[in-house]
C-alpha cells in the first residue's frame, strides 16, 4: 500500500506547486538540504519556476542591498509577468 502515490509526482520530482511553496525558504537557505538538490534540479528543468526563482532572487537582492525604496509596482509587474507565463492566453 502506497497511499501517497496519487498526489506525489515521483520519488525525486517536485511539482511546481511544491516548488512555489518552498522557494522562499530555498532562496533564504533555510530549506532541507535533501530538498535543495531537488529544487535546484527542478529550477533547471522548469522554465516557469526557474524564472520565478530569478525574479524572487532579484527582489531579495534589491532589498538586501539596502534599497528599501524598491517600488512595489515594479515588484507587482515582475510577479504579473511570471503569472502570465504560468497562464498563457
Catalog residues that contact Zn ion under the rule CB under 5 A: 16, 46, 49
Residue with cell 524564472: 51
State the minimum distance, in angstroms, from the CB of residue 36 to Zn ion.
Answer: 15
State the minimum distance, in angstroms, from the CB of residue 66 to Zn ion.
Answer: 31
Burial class (CB in 10 A: 0-12, 13-18, 19+), 53: buried
In angstroms, rounded to a whole number, what is the distance separating the alpha carbons of residues 8 and 2?
10
State the minimum distance, in angstroms, from the CB of residue 62 to Zn ion.
Answer: 24
Question: Nearer to Zn ion by C-beta: 49 or 56?
Answer: 49
Question: Nearer to Zn ion by C-beta: 46 or 62?
Answer: 46
Contact yes or no for 48/82 (Cβ under 8 A): yes
Question: Nearer to Zn ion by C-beta: 16 or 55?
Answer: 16
Amino acid at each position: 500500500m502506497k497511499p501517497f502515490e496519487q498526489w506525489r509526482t515521483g520519488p525525486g520530482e517536485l511539482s511546481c506547486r511544491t516548488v512555489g511553496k518552498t522557494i522562499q525558504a530555498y532562496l533564504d537557505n533555510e530549506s532541507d538540504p535533501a530538498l535543495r538538490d531537488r529544487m535546484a534540479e527542478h529550477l533547471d528543468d522548469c522554465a516557469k519556476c526557474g524564472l520565478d526563482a530569478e525574479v524572487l532572487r532579484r527582489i531579495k537582492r534589491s532589498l538586501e542591498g539596502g534599497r528599501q525604496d524598491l517600488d512595489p509596482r515594479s515588484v507587482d509587474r515582475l510577479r504579473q509577468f511570471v503569472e502570465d507565463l504560468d497562464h498563457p492566453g
